[in-house]
Amino acid sequence: MELLSTNVCFDGEHRRYRHYSATLECDMEFAVFLPPAAVARDAKPVPVLYWLSGLTCTDQNFMQKAGAMKRAAQLGLAIVCPDTSPRGLNLPGEDDSYDFGTGAGFYINATQQPWAPHYRMYDYVVKELPQLVEHSLPVTDQRSVSGHSMGGHGALIAALKNPGRYASVSAFAPIANPSECPWGQKAFSGYLGDDARAWEEWDATLLIPTARERLPLLVDQGTADEFLETQLNPDALAAVCETFHHHINLRMHRGYDHSYFFIASFIDEHLEHHAQALGLR
């Protein structure tokens, strides 16, 4: 890994790295916050929260805007933020729109050309990146996962598809039923093809009935979110969770929108949720 930058923050360190990803066949960048417990003279490895960001974001948005590092430092929790897609591959159409291609990997494994060799963000964030981080940095193999919007979708499917891999999961304003919304339909048809049956394994609402592990889902959603009615559909997720007795704590927050102001308002509660599951509380 190539260290790009480092900043002392709340007596821990925020770092940015670049590395070559064999999964995506390109260079990738990611950010990590290491709490004081991981960088002190008598440092010991700490658990990790993997944060998956939303459309148009990079590894930097969460670190700079969410206000998560103070509480993470106190809890002794590392945070790893991958990018949201490969970049600069010069694939046809990769930069034509904000919701497909660059910045919009949707945390799935593409099967359609020209995306299939590179747009395998699911394998990257679930397998390759944790293996790299756990081998190279002072962290344990205890993991939790969270995210926002497209990244909330990514966090939910990562947990639902990998029983035993994560101690906990949460999401802010996730794309909860992507097979039934314009963002998801555009991405899935482009990356996976037009057969909707191929979409089912990448849709949290459709994964709930057959989930082999039922981690409690913590989901925060703002009522003033401009994408609530057209793109996010948390009610579909809540309904199927009720049907199949999968615990969900869907918290609707009056007046909050889709922005990082919303995330910053409730991030500490999500960190506490993960810290408890990881044995830090």
**Residues with catalytic annotation?**
149, 225, 258
Of residues 229, 241, 222, 246, the one with CA closest to residue 173: 222
Cis-peptide into 114, omega within 30 deg:
yes
And the tokens for 252?
């609707």
CA 99 to chain centre: 16
How far apart, in whole angstroms, are the C-alpha atoms of residue 117 and residue 83? Answer: 17
How far apart, in whole angstroms, are the C-alpha atoms of residue 159 and residue 157? Answer: 5
β-pair partners for 66: none
34 DSSP assignment: E
Residue 16: Cβ within 10 Å count:
19
And the tokens for 36?
């004081």
Non-local CB neighbours of 181 within 8 Å, separated by 6+ positions: 175, 230, 231, 232, 233
